[in-house]
Chains A and B, each alone.
Chain A
Amino acid sequence: MSPVPPQGRRRAMFGLLLAGIPLLLFVLAAIVGPMVVAYDPITTRTGDRLMPPGAVLSDGSVAILGSDQVGRDLLAQVLQGARISLLVAAATILAAGLIGLIVGVLAGYYGGILDSVAMRVADIQLGFPAILLAILIAAVLGPSVLNVIITLSLARWVTYGRVARASTLTTKQLDFVDAARAVGASDARLLLRHIVPATLTPLIVMATVEVGLVIISEASLSFLGLGTPPDQPSWGTIVANGRAYLNTAWWISTMPGIALSLLVLSVGGFGDRLRDYLDPRGSAAHTQL
């Protein structure tokens, strides 16, 4: 990606807003959708089972995405799944980012034994395939939305921790931090007013790469039966549910996956633009490794 000239900042802002539209639509669908097309996990209507997309159901409504094996509208499930997916992604990014920020900044600022322990733990975690650690934690905790958030936060804090630590090590050597210390600023003040703000931009850039990964991880865990419980339809559980009906009802597994892929693409596009806006000199390749 080529460097953005100063007058390019307005253009980067415009690109950011434009790329935000699909993501905004997803968020709106997740908030408003379930109010319009209510999801009912209990009622089963055997007359409406396995209806293809566009079919008219017995109550006169149109199942735009078809219905599942007990006659539940698939669109309602996909909209409900969008809530779970976005909720888990947002909560995980916040929690993992916060753990990473606190551990990374303290390790980088104070160094010593705290730093050594934190970074060795990070080494161990990076020595594991991330999904394996998530599977292990999820298997121990059992399926629930909160447990998925805990699992993914524990599995993904390391990247933020490393970025926050590296950024702290750079910032604490800068002259303005020395100056603040010279006029008697306390450690707490230095950390909160000077060090932490400087680490936020790299952490946000990191988060834009992570959102898509977290969304896919949640769906994968749920697909394996280790994520959300069956009465909380996440896209992963709907896809898993549809596997038994591939011969007769291809739409059950297909539709949530399309929604999921579109969301990950939207998030990726928005992340690229946000990176251009926040960090015009950095290249996408730089943050990927």
Chain B
Amino acid sequence: MTPYLVRRLALSVFVLWGAVTVVFVAVRLAPGDPAQMMLGTSATAQDVAALQVRLGLDQPMPVQYGRYLLRVARLDLGESLRLNEPAIVAIAERVPQTARLTVLAMVIAVLLSFPMGILAAAGGGKPIDRAISLISLLGQSVPSFWLGIMLILVFARELRLLPSGGADTWQHLVLPATTLALPLVGILTRLIRSGLLDVLREDYIRTARAKGLAARVVMRRHALMNMLIPVVTVMGLQLGQLLGGAVIVESVFAWPGVGRLLLEAISNRDYPLIQAAILVITGGFLLINLLVDLSYSYLDPRIRLA
């Protein structure tokens, strides 16, 4: 392990600790006593007090916090108040669905934004460039919950091409993944366009052209490869943000992922489940960012991770 990797891992653990602590504080600031909540309004005061002892809620705050940290370290995130199973199990069942959604959204974003960015840069200033700029600006300005509903109106209600919600077949994945991808298409297209325009001004591009390489080869081998680093950086950061966006998109399309589970947990005031969902999403976010960092040295051998 390089010192860089050690430092990077330490930072991730620190951020995760911060997230765990924020969630601990937030859940305790929330109105309502968890023991009362679990037992319902018909419970007697003795029952509530007994459960408080069993849950450790009668202990002083620092003791509760210490025990909580130890449990989190063992991945014991408590029992869901509503689902009658450990919170971590309920989350684990939903993780593959959220993963499918975000990965497909990223694939769609890449498949759309590279051709659009390249076309825009190649036609700098011409109508095609302006049209693509407008599309990418729109992609960033339209809120995804509304975009999702508009896609449902057009493709599910009017054209009856695709289902509006649920997760039974691959067709169920098309609308949510597209909705999740579109803001990212806007960001990536602008980045690819401006990156290419910068790179195409470099001397080595002129050299490559002067030695008679075809425009296509110059674009692919010389220009594209050299602007990948900032694009991959933003892609990585945005893949993490997609996990946040997935919460909203899953709610619009009734997609059974971690995000919808989190929202259900919030409306049920199911604090162990809220806590677990937020920690799992944050963990995924940190892991993705770590992998993105590590991929730089592979993409650009000039970068030594020191």
Which of B22, B141, B144, B248 is within 8 Å of A124, CB to CB? B22
* Contact A127-B141, Cβ < 8 Å, known A246-B152, A254-B150: no
Report Cα–Cα, A207/B199, bound state, in Å.
30
Besides A128-B22, A220-B143, 5 other A-B contacts (C-beta < 8 A) = A220-B144, A226-B266, A250-B153, A256-B146, A285-B191
Q: Which of A136, A142, A242, A247 has the most CB of B within 10 A?
A: A136
Which of A123, A137, A224, A226 is within 8 Å of B26, CB to CB? A137
Question: Is B69 positioned at the interface, with any CB of A under 8 Å from its CB?
Answer: no
Which of B146, B157, B190, B194 is within 8 Å of A239, CB to CB? B146
Report Cα–Cα, A83/B248, bound state, in Å.
24
- The stretch from B52-60, B210-218, B274-282, B298-306 touching chain A is B274-282
Which of B22, B234, B245, B289 is within 8 Å of A131, CB to CB? B245
Contacts of B194 in A (CB 8 A): 285
* Contact A243-B31, Cβ < 8 Å, known A131-B244, A260-B143: no
The answer to whether A261 touches B285 (Cβ under 8 A) is no
Q: How large is the interface on A (under 10, 10 to 19, 20 to 34, 35 or more residues)?
A: 35 or more
In chain A between 216 and 236, which residues have their CB closer than 8 angstroms to a CB of chain B?
Answer: 216, 219-220, 223-226, 236
* CB-defined A-B contacts under 8 Å, sample of 8: A127-B15, A128-B285, A220-B145, A224-B145, A257-B142, A260-B143, A264-B143, A265-B138
Contacts of B285 in A (CB 8 A): 127-129
In chain B between 24 and 56, which residues have their CB closer than 8 angstroms to a CB of chain A?
Answer: 26-27, 29-31
Question: Is B113 positioned at the interface, with any CB of A under 8 Å from its CB?
Answer: no
Question: Is A161 positioned at the interface, with any CB of B under 8 Å from its CB?
Answer: no
Report Cα–Cα, A124/B23, bound state, in Å.
12
Chain A to chain B: the 10 pairs with minimum beta-carbon distance, closest first: A129-B244, A124-B18, A127-B15, A257-B146, A131-B244, A264-B141, A139-B266, A140-B30, A223-B145, A216-B143
Question: Is B118 positioned at the interface, with any CB of A under 8 Å from its CB?
Answer: no
Chain B proximity of A210: nearest CB distance (Å): 13
Question: Is B286 positioned at the interface, with any CB of A under 8 Å from its CB?
Answer: yes
Give the secondary structure class of B's interface.
helix
Contacts of A247 in B (CB 8 A): 157
The answer to whether B274 touches A136 (Cβ under 8 A) is yes
Contacts of B157 in A (CB 8 A): 246-247, 250
Question: Is B188 positioned at the interface, with any CB of A under 8 Å from its CB?
Answer: no
Report Cα–Cα, A123/B282, bound state, in Å.
13
The answer to whether B244 touches A140 (Cβ under 8 A) is no
The answer to whether B267 touches A225 (Cβ under 8 A) is yes
Contacts of A260 in B (CB 8 A): 143, 146
In chain A between 131 and 171, which residues have their CB closer than 8 angstroms to a CB of chain B?
Answer: 131-133, 135-137, 139-140, 142
The answer to whether A131 touches B248 (Cβ under 8 A) is yes
Question: Is A10 positioned at the interface, with any CB of B under 8 Å from its CB?
Answer: no
Question: Is A253 positioned at the interface, with any CB of B under 8 Å from its CB?
Answer: yes
Report Cα–Cα, A215/B247, bound state, in Å.
18
Chain A proximity of B265: nearest CB distance (Å): 9
Number of interface residues of B (CB under 8 A): 52
The answer to whether A135 touches B247 (Cβ under 8 A) is yes
Chain B proximity of A153: nearest CB distance (Å): 16
Of all chain B residues, which has the CB nearest A213? Answer: B140
The answer to whether B248 touches A129 (Cβ under 8 A) is no
- The total of interchain contacts (Cβ-Cβ below 8 angstroms) comes to 130
The answer to whether A120 touches B26 (Cβ under 8 A) is no
The answer to whether B141 touches A139 (Cβ under 8 A) is no
Report Cα–Cα, A285/B142, bound state, in Å.
20
The answer to whether A136 touches B145 (Cβ under 8 A) is no
Report Cα–Cα, A223/B138, bound state, in Å.
20
The answer to whether A132 touches B137 (Cβ under 8 A) is no
The answer to whether A130 touches B143 (Cβ under 8 A) is no
Q: Which of A120, A128, A246 has the most CB of B within 10 A?
A: A128
The answer to whether A246 touches B153 (Cβ under 8 A) is yes
Question: Is B19 positioned at the interface, with any CB of A under 8 Å from its CB?
Answer: yes
Question: Is B106 positioned at the interface, with any CB of A under 8 Å from its CB?
Answer: no
The answer to whether B262 touches A135 (Cβ under 8 A) is yes
The answer to whether B267 touches A132 (Cβ under 8 A) is no
Question: Is B263 positioned at the interface, with any CB of A under 8 Å from its CB?
Answer: yes
Report Cα–Cα, A253/B141, bound state, in Å.
17
Chain B proximity of A256: nearest CB distance (Å): 8
* Contact A136-B143, Cβ < 8 Å, known A129-B243, A129-B285: no
* Contact A128-B282, Cβ < 8 Å, known A123-B15, A135-B247, A246-B157: yes
Contacts of B110 in A (CB 8 A): none
Report Cα–Cα, A253/B154, bound state, in Å.
13
Question: Is B14 positioned at the interface, with any CB of A under 8 Å from its CB?
Answer: yes
* Contact A136-B245, Cβ < 8 Å, known A120-B14, A246-B157, A257-B143: no
Chain A proximity of B110: nearest CB distance (Å): 19
